[in-house]
Amino acid sequence: MGPLAGVRVVEFAGIGPAPFCGMLLADLGADVLLVERKVPNANTAGVSFFNLGRFAIHHRGKRAVALDLKKPEGVAAALRLVERADALIEGFRPGVMERMRLSPEACLARNPRLVYGRMTGWGQTGPLANAAGHDINYLALSGALSLGARPGAPPWAPPTLVGDMGGGGLLLAFGVLAAILEARQSGQGQVVDAAITEGAALLTSIVGSLKAAGIWSDRPGTNVLDSGAPFYDTYQCADGKWIALGAIEPQFFAELVKTSGLPANEFETQFDVAQWPRQKDFVTKLIATQTRDQWCALLEGTDACFAPVLGLEDAPMHAHNRARGSFVELDGVVQPGAAPRFSRTRSEVGLRPPASGTSSDATLASWGLSRDEIIALRDSGALA
């Protein structure tokens, strides 16, 4: 039903941002076929960091096929699937797909309209292109990691959020969709080189604007948005739980002071940096006098720019999230729902994550493989 209904995507199984990209496309209605590497007893492997089974939210809405890509029959089958695809996405180091004989050149020769999406940390070229790395490394090089520090504390990265998912998976999805639109105009496919370092750097654009204008300091904890301001930070309540304040605009700041009971005479100036430490001390002590629920009763829904800091278990239960259906349950796993929302072509969470290491004849048939081809694949041992 989603806006991408009819779009076909072949995803070569990996970890991190490329599967997240595939999930986003599947949520919006694309037919995403996950091509896994066929390994012995894959379907009996226990749950681990690298194999989450039915808990793999990032594989929801997808169908799967397990191919032995070391066999020529497996590669041939993968190319047959590519023939029917609008896009291919992969998240390996540069050169891995080439070694599997599934290079952009090989795939585009079979399907000239194919969009070939490549997800890496450093990019397909450059001095670091072939080096290993993870989210925290890519954030470090992009400049984004330096923004997550407080005075006297080391930089801290939200687990995989800014790099892998925001700077990586979202960037790849954006690039793939843009290239699909262009291919429908030109009739020609192309390679999309999505690098997490560059995606994370893009996410720093607003802070970069502030720095260029001379109103952002490189000293952690001295700026409006990095815990320096008393009106933009998190505070601990009497019960040990936390709330978040973000009253940047003067009218919202005035609402916060008035509604919370802060002494007005101590908060007559908002952007006098010299007053911030003293003002923050007032806020810290006031917030600590009541529980999080008490502050919610007082400030939630006002223009004080307030929210409770919720954990992954609490967030789905909040009244606002429940009213909008922001979280759903699939196969016993509570998870974020599909987003964004569309007024006509509704996006939604689809199929449960496919069982690892299995293949469906019906899935292959729907992607254009004949019964004889499927039988031959099984006989060769290239198909799980």
Rounded Cα distance, 268 and 129, in Å: 52
Spatial contact of 65 and 383, defined as CB atoms under 8 Å apart: yes
* Contact by Cβ (8 Å): 183, 189: yes
CB-facing half-sphere around the CA of 246: CA atoms within 13 A: 9
Please tell me the distance from the alpha carbon of residue 295 to that of residue 93, in angstroms, as a whole number: 48
Active-site residue, from 134, 303, 318, 361? 134
> Does 164 participate in catalysis according to the annotation?
yes
Q: Are 327 and 335 in contact (CB under 8 A)?
A: yes
Please tell me the distance from the alpha carbon of residue 21 to that of residue 3, in angstroms, as a whole number. 16
Phi (first) and psi of residue 273, to 5 degrees: -60, -30
Catalytic residue among 27, 164, 226, 233: 164
Strand 327-330 to 333-336 pairing: antiparallel
Tokens of 381: 């041992």
For 5, phi then psi, to 5°, come to -55, 130
Residue 154: which residues within 8 A CB-CB, separation 6 or more?
A: none
Q: How far is CA 149 from the centre of its chain?
A: 22
**Do residues 171 and 194 make contact, with C-beta atoms less than 8 angstroms apart?**
yes
331 classed as catalytic? no
Catalytic center residues: 134, 164
